[in-house]
Structure 1
Amino acid sequence: MMNADPQDTDLESALRHSHEADAFERLASIPELRGHIDQPAARERLEQMLADDVVTVEVEAAEALVKSGGKAGLLAVLGVLGRRHDDPDVDYIAYMLNDIDHDDEFPVLQDALAIDDAELTLAEKLGLENLRRLMGR
């Protein structure tokens, strides 16, 4: 009998914890999921967590997607910013993006502006425009 791949086991554990009722468990799963972001299940779960009922979970999932998820992760977050533009909770995601961009920690706006406009959905365009306004650029 073959042993399970430890990476698969770690991902399964992270996915299981990401669905826990306790918000601290879900938060703790985000770095684990981020470590497996190249796996579709991890990326998909992080994207789902952008709609968590705890804003801190949403913000941490957004940061993981933007910093480690490449263009697809950034687009997922921009889409949320656009679709939920009138939701005050999404402001926390935008402020986090502003902070990491402003602190030169990660070039959020530069990366977003480098994406061809034709590739953006209407929600992603709205999210980018709202982010630009927030950043004053």
Structure 2
Amino acid sequence: MRPSMVREACRQSLADLKVDYVDLYLIHLPTSLIPEFPWPLRNQNIKWNEYYDDVDYLDTWKEMEALCHEGCCKAIGLSNFSQRQVERIMQHSSLPVAAIQVECNPYLTRSGLLDFCKANKIAFVAHSPLGSPGDGHG
């Protein structure tokens, strides 16, 4: 999520996919991890606070807006953001939030966020619609 890394990450994805642009590019989380985070996770008892990075997601969003203006993506959106965080983006954005992807299922309905998205013409994309493994519901 470091703003200085957004452009190169997008360009690498475009090269890997062998395309000139993507229809939708998302910020995956409102929190940022340092680039040295040990992916893939091998230790589930990881001390997450040791890997948090001090990045404002609004700065990342601004870099993604630039990618849209350059034609690298047609639209930009968010994943795993709260309504309050989406509202903050909307207040400072020159482009609309095209979509938000969040966990949504019968055990986690997100009806308030869904209503907010409908009112603001933001596509609402559910992940884990049958629940998540290990949450006691899936």
TM-score above 0.5: no
TM bracket (short chain): 0.3 to 0.5
Q: Which has the higher helix share?
A: 1
- What is the TM-score with the length of structure 2 in the denominator? 0.35
Give TM-score, length-normalised by structure 1.
Answer: 0.35
